């Protein structure tokens, strides 16, 4: 169990990047964030969201600060789960696993977005904690806790099935639910897992770069973690959005290096440990600043405002990734939420690409507001 002091440390770790996020960005980041934010404000309805997540996201306040406060609490719960997971492998210093998780930006960059996925993350991290607690203590009740949490998480995000399958590799209790899930959802599972070149977060291989800071975690990873780590690594290779799944486990690998008794016998022990902790803390600030540069940017809002002003009915043609931003700005969009490029017809459009049948009205950095024939 984490001590009050350790919980306080983790709270501060979670609070620092969210303080930057709130001060440096008066808006939200992320493309899909604006689908759910627009829904909260009664401007749009997101279809296909799992039942429990749908209930939560339709009733979340239409207020940036309330949303960021909610996201902060979810992130804090996630870090507490990672810290608790660490205590299973080192009672005194296990909480440092939460610190080491910042060596990769994946968890925080996901945590600042308003999506149904984020509601499931802390639940799945705590499911991971109970799963390994069951393995270490040999008490089956914890495995049942883990199963219950994974099933509950599926009510927020269908991707919880990946944890069901990963745990089923070394658990009979998870086997029947996993087989049932595959039988029912195998088509969706394949479709959601395969890479998609037109969607940045679904592209293959590039996710390896996002966990570079944790790569050394593979070296001293406890054997008990290997089966699930390999599953999550395969998912990461297929789509970069799955990188967050492997982050807690690699953080344990870094923790094992930090607490390795052999390290204490070397002359550079204190220096190495100091560098590791210092690097992780620097990453807290670095990722905080990097998050403030994520889309949408100020020129995006300026371009959308200008484009809407050029229309008589607020109807805009656009690149699909701008759709949710336009909805948030009370515009009527022709494309959103998918990787298909639709040819522009007569009217006002906003785009990053050259259009042969369109004349540029005004440029906004990488965006052009154009009038098409």
Q: Give me the residues of the chain with pLDDT under 70, please.
A: 339-340
Q: What is the pLDDT of residue 25?
A: 94
pLDDT of amino acid 61: 96
The pTM of this model reads 0.95
pLDDT in tens, 162-174: 999 999 999 999 9
Q: What pLDDT is recorded for position 341?
A: 75
Residues 6+ apart with CB under 8 A from 4: none
Express each pLDDT in 209-238 by its tens digit: 999 999 999 999 999 999 999 999 999 999
Per-residue pLDDT at 266: 75
Distance of CA 262 to the CA centre of its chain: 35
Residue written as token pair 């008990």: 224
Residue 58 CB coordination number (10 Å): 14
Domain segments of the chain as ranges: 4-291, 298-372
Place of tokens 């009217």: 347
What DSSP state is assigned to residue 202?
A: G
The whole-angstrom separation of Cα 38 and Cα 33 is 8
Query: What is the per-residue pLDDT for 263?
Result: 73
Token duo for residue 11: 């709270």
pLDDT at 20: 96
pLDDT of residue 355: 82
% of the chain with per-residue pLDDT over 70: 99
Residue in the structure block whose two tokens are 């369109």: 358
**Measured at the alpha carbon of residue 198, what is the angle toward residues 107 and 326, in degrees to the nearest 5?**
80
């Amino acid at each position: 169990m984490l001590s009050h002091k350790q919980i306080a440390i983790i709270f501060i770790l979670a609070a620092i990047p969210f303080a930057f996020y709130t001060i440096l960005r008066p808006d939200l980041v992320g493309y899909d964030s604006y689908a759910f934010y627009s829904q909260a404000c009664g401007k749009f309805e997101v279809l296909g969201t799992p039942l429990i997540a749908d209930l939560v996201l339709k009733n979340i306040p239409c207020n940036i600060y309330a949303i960021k406060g909610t996201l902060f609490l979810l992130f804090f719960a996630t870090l507490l789960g990672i810290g608790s997971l660490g205590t299973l492998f080192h009672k005194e210093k296990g909480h440092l696993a939460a610190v080491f998780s910042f060596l990769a930006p994946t968890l925080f960059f996901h945590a600042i977005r308003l999506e149904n996925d984020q509601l499931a993350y802390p639940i799945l991290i705590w499911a991971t904690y109970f799963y390994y607690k069951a393995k270490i203590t040999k008490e089956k009740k914890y495995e049942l806790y883990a199963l219950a949490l994974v099933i509950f998480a599926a009510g927020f995000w269908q991707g919880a099935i990946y944890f069901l399958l990963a745990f089923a590799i070394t658990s009979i209790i998870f086997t029947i639910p996993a087989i049932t899930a595959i039988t029912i959802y195998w088509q969706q599972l394949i479709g959601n897992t395969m890479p998609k070149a037109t969607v940045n977060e679904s592209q293959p291989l590039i996710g390896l770069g996002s966990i570079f800071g944790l790569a050394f975690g593979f070296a001293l990873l406890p054997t008990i973690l290997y089966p699930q780590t390999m599953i999550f690594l395969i998912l990461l290779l297929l789509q970069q959005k799955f990188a967050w799944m492997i982050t807690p486990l690699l953080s344990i690998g870094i923790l094992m290096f930090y607490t390795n008794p052999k390290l204490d016998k070397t002359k550079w022990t204190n220096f190495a440990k100091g560098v590791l902790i210092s690097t992780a803390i620097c990453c807290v600030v670095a990722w905080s600043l990097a998050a403030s540069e994520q889309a949408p940017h100020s020129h995006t809002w300026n371009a959308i405002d200008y484009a809407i002003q050029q229309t008589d009915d607020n109807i805009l043609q656009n690149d699909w990734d701008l759709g949710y931003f336009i909805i948030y700005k009370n515009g009527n969009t022709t494309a959103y939420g998918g990787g298909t490029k639709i040819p522009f017809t007569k009217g006002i459009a906003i785009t990053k690409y050259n259009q042969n049948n369109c004349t540029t009205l005004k440029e906004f950095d990488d965006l052009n507001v154009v009038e098409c024939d």
